[in-house]
Amino acid sequence: MKTVNGFRCIKCTKEWLLTQAKYVCPSCGNNLDIVYDYSEISKKISRKDLQHNTSYNMWRYQHFYPVDNLCDKPALHIGWTPLYKSSHTSNLYIKDDGRNPSASFKDRASAIALLDAIYKKSPCIIGASTGNAGSSIACLGASVKMPITILVPNSAPQAKLAQLLIFGATVVPIDGNYDQAFDLCQEIAVKNNWYNRNTGYNPYTREGKKSCAFEICEQLNWQVPDWVFVSVGDGNIISGIWKGFYDLYHCKFIDRLPRLVAVQSSQSNAIFQAFTHYNKTKELSVKETRATTLADSISVDIPRDGLAALKAIIDSQGTSVEVSDQEILQEIQGIAKEFAVFAEPAGATSVAGFKKLTAQNMIKENEKCVCVVTGNGLKDVSSALSVVNRPQPIAPDISKIEEYIHRRI
Ligand SMILES: Cc1ncc(COP(=O)(O)O)c(C=O)c1O
Ligand SMILES: [Zn+2]
């Protein structure tokens, strides 16, 4: 592709042609980033072109992606999710990414990985997942009849397991955590020469995640937000969103960049710790933690795209904040009340982070903030039920029912 120069290693910065590397840096084994020729992209797409483009989905930004076999794209509607303005808090917006086909942000990444797998004539896609990446590639795979195999912790919420099975993936429930599933997946992928979709290992996933940044800017009529809040597990969503803003900036679609906030549960906070450590020492290093958060999608011991996430925070002059699991759960209800949007715990985490920084006076009143709500609440109803009072059943008797209702209104 004329628009793509090749790969650059996130750690050692060595550059490679697309034919010289597959997933990771051949020299140091770290993650790769795809490097573009922005002058070539600028020849193909402008803000004006977008004004005349009536296909409102992630493919409207096709020239920013490292794939050109768009004829293979799934027919599903991916991206252009709603951006809702708060009615209570001036300048707060949420991006409801639970509205994607498999009900999470991950469909943006799966779409690009799927096209890459088809282009490379892979017979099968394999991935390890906390639940959403798997259900996403299972969904998209089903739409183009691509066989999918997913290793998933047996503890994943039922709805995510149900999605995997309904979409016809080969599901391998692992009696272990996500990190173990991830390592096993790497081994199986190599042995069978299957396409590996693993988040934070496959450089193509980040490229699909950029689309969220493109949409935020276009939906705000190219006014760049001051802050973007993102919940973080492996760190691939935040690094992808940062790349999206960076691409737009270098193609002169926007004239400044936002500050990114990595929001984590205090019970899975490797990136928060790495950023705190960086502030003290200026050393870039992400250490393993022991993740126990109930926000299953961001429960990660070893963030697989940790370094790219850390750089996204630093380069954007952003920050990281940790919130308690209780704050995350409360925010599921907060978002439902304020926006009528149902978020899964990891989806609500970004807004919990916004509330925390606002309470700490880190955000000025006139600053525009976007929180990305990355997954739909129907994926984990037991977490939602834990913050509401579930009424006991009552007898089917009209007077008892009326009395019951009147006591509550
Ligand atoms: C709903 C949801 N939110 C946030 C994340 C975190 O993304 P990342 O692991 O790339 O940091 C995930 C990842 O699985 C997710 O499914
Ligand atoms: Zn390297």
6 and 87 in a single domain? The answer is: no
Tell me, using a 6 A CB cutoff, whether residue 106 lines ligand 1: yes
Q: Name the amino acid, one letter, at 332.
A: I
- Residues 372 and 212: their CA atoms lie apart, in Å, by 9
- Integer Rg of the chain from CA: 21
97 in a structural domain = yes
Mean pLDDT of the chain: 97
3-state secondary structure of 83: strand
Mean pLDDT along residues 233-259:
98
pLDDT reading at 333 higher than 90 = yes
Residues 165-191: b if buried by 16+ CB within 10 A, e if exposed: eebebebbebeebbbebbebbeeebee
Answer yes or no: do 32 and 88 share one domain.
no
pLDDT at 89: 81
Per-residue confidence band for 409, with pLDDT thresholds at 50, 70 and 90: confident
Average confidence (pLDDT) over 91-115: 98
Position 1 scores a pLDDT of 83
Out of 150, 298, 328, mutate this one to test ligand 1's pocket (max ligand atoms within 8 Å of CB): namely: 298
| Same structural domain, 18 and 95 | no
Number of folded domains that form the chain? 2
- 96 and 15 in one domain? no
Is any atom of ligand 1 closer than 6 Å to the C-beta of 353?
no
Residue with tokens 């051949």: 26
- Grade residue 202 by pLDDT with cuts at 50, 70 and 90: very high
Which residue's alpha carbon is at the smallest distance from atom 13 of ligand 1?
Answer: 297
Q: Do 1 and 90 have their domain in common?
A: no
Ligand 1 centroid, distance to 232 Cα (angstroms): 6
Question: Are 31 and 89 in a shared domain?
Answer: no
Given the CA of residue 129, which atom of ligand 1 is nearest to it? 14
How many A from CA of 104 to the centre of ligand 1?
A: 9
Average pLDDT of the segment spanning 9-26: 97
405 domain residue, yes or no: no
Task: Count CB atoms within 10 A of the CB of residue 294.
Answer: 18
Residues 11 and 88 in one domain: no
Residue range 260-264: average pLDDT? 98
The pLDDT, as a whole number, for residue 90 is 79
Q: Is residue 111 part of a domain?
A: no
Residue 187 pLDDT > 90: yes
Residue 7 pLDDT = 98
What residues are neighbours of ligand 2 (ion), with CB under 5 Å? 9, 11-12, 25, 27-28, 30
Both tokens of 136, joined, read: 């996403």
Task: Please write the tens of the pLDDT for every residue from 372-384.
Answer: 999 999 999 999 9
Q: Is the pLDDT of residue 268 over 90?
A: yes
pLDDT at position 292 is 96
Domain shared by 265 and 324, yes or no: yes
383 pocket-lining for ligand 1 (C-beta < 6 Å): no
- What's the rounded Cα separation, in Å, for the pair 133 and 102? 9
| Residue 316 one-letter amino acid | S
CA distance 123 to 126: 10
pLDDT in tens, 270-328: 999 999 999 999 999 999 999 999 999 999 999 999 999 999 999 999 999 999 999 99
Q: Both 3 and 97 in a single domain?
A: no
Q: Which ligand is nearest to the CA of 310?
A: 1
Flag whether pLDDT at 88 surpasses 90.
no
Closest residue by Cα to atom 14, ligand 1, is: 297
Do 89 and 17 reside in the same domain of the chain?
A: no
Backbone angles phi, psi at 33, to 5 degrees: -120, 145
**Beta carbon of 225 within 6 Å of any ligand 1 atom:** no
Ligand 2 center–CA 50 separation, angstroms: 36
Distance 282 CA to ligand 1 centre (A): 26
Residue 5 lies in a domain: yes
What crossing angle do the helices spanning 236-250 and 203-219 adopt, rounded to 10°? 60
What is the 15 CA–ligand 2 centroid distance (Å)? 8
Has residue 250 been placed in a domain? yes
CATH of the domain at 293: 3.40.50.1100
How high is the pLDDT of residue 79? 98
**pLDDT tens for residues 108-161?**
999 999 999 999 999 999 999 989 999 999 999 999 999 999 999 999 999 999
* Pairwise CA distance, residues 23 & 202, whole Å: 5
**Distance (Å) from CA 32 to ligand 2 centroid:** 8
Separation CA 361–CA 356 (nearest Å) = 9
Q: Does residue 240 sit in the same domain as residue 315?
A: yes
Residue 395: pLDDT above 90?
Answer: yes
Residues 303/200, Cβ–Cβ less than 8 Å: yes
Checking if the pLDDT of 408 tops 90, the result is no
Q: Does a structural domain hold residue 306?
A: yes
Q: Tell me whether strands 92-96 and 83-85 are parallel, antiparallel or unpaired.
A: antiparallel
φ and ψ at residue 182, rounded to 5 degrees: -60, -50
Q: DSSP letter string over 216-280?
A: HHHHTTTPPPSEEEEE-SSSHHHHHHHHHHHHHHHTTS-SS-PEEEEEEETTS-HHHHHHHHHHH
Considering the domain architecture, whether residues 90 and 6 belong to the same structural domain is answered as no
Give domain status of residue 110, yes or no: no
Torsional sign, CA 325, 322, 86, 133: negative
348 in any annotated domain: yes
Which bin fits 145, alpha (ψ -120 to 50), beta or left (φ > 0)? Answer: left
Residue 323: CB atoms within 10 A of its CB come to 28
Contact 142, 173 (CB under 8 A): no
H/E element, 330: helix 325-339
Domain of residue 352, residue span? 83-102+204-385
% of the chain residues with pLDDT over 90:
97
Instruction: Judge whether residue 201 has pLDDT over 90.
Output: yes
- Cβ-based burial of 83 (10 A; exposed 0-12, middle 13-18, buried ≥19): middle
Q: What is the pLDDT of residue 272?
A: 98
User: What is the pLDDT, as a whole number, of residue 23?
Assistant: 96
The interaxial angle of helices 203-219 and 106-119, nearest 10 deg, is 130
